[in-house]
Amino acid sequence: MTNETIIKMVQSGVPTETIVRTIQSAESFRFGTLPGDLSQLQQAKVPDEVIRALAARINWPGSSPLVIAHPPLTPQSPLAVPPPPGSNSALKKGAFPSQSQDQEDPYLFKGAREISFVGSGFVTGGSSKNTNLAGITAGTFLSAGNLLSAGILTSGVHDLYLAGLYRHFFKTKDPKLFPFGGIGAGSNLAHLSDSTTNHNYLARGELGLRYFPVRHIAVDMAYTLQYLHMRGSSFGDSAASGVTFGFIHVF
């Protein structure tokens, strides 16, 4: 009786119990137990009970003892498949994951960079004066959901706004929608008609939403409060509120 005999019995549909009894009662046998032989038995879907009976029969009392130099066969474990890059299934509710999980978020992960084209419309509190701004900002995510950026905006050739901005994004049930809050500070350079330039300090706060229609493209909408400190102006004339829109490329 050989390994091939056992394989043929299995392939012929002989019950496992019958094969085991046949091995135990065989008067002569020649079983191969090298790693390649055992691999061949496994590939032929020989049951573990049969392989154990084969190993036991080799060392059966009265036969020549033989030590099997191969570890016991165990069921093959499925290979662990790592989550695809950008998977955010492990995010904690209402917050972004720890640094070791930053790369699991496909949109706002640590190290991501972005360029944003921005447009804003403000109404000054004291005078109801309208101011429209347009510009560009660039930033990087220091960690998942935490953005640091800087930009330049203008309401005309002679009026520039330079500012830095920090934003924190929050997770929602919709993996493409991120509420955010932000604070920023900077300066305003206004070139007046008499060839003088005014330097004014500004501060701003905002609350908004970011939505990703596709993975690397997003749109922002935020309600913004801005304070522009101008000499000789009251708080009402220096404070403004408005809406900011942004078109963002994240990479």
CA 16 to chain centre: 48
CATH 2.40.160.20 assigned to domain 99-250? The reply is yes
In tens, the pLDDT along 34-76 reads 777 788 888 888 898 888 887 887 765 544 444 444 444 445 5
Domain ranges of the chain: 3-58, 99-250
In tens, the pLDDT along 231-250 reads 767 777 788 899 999 999 99
Q: Which residue has the tokens 């012929």?
A: 12
Residues 209/178, Cβ–Cβ less than 8 Å? yes
- Residues in the chain with pLDDT values less than 70: 33, 59-105, 125-128, 157, 192-195, 232
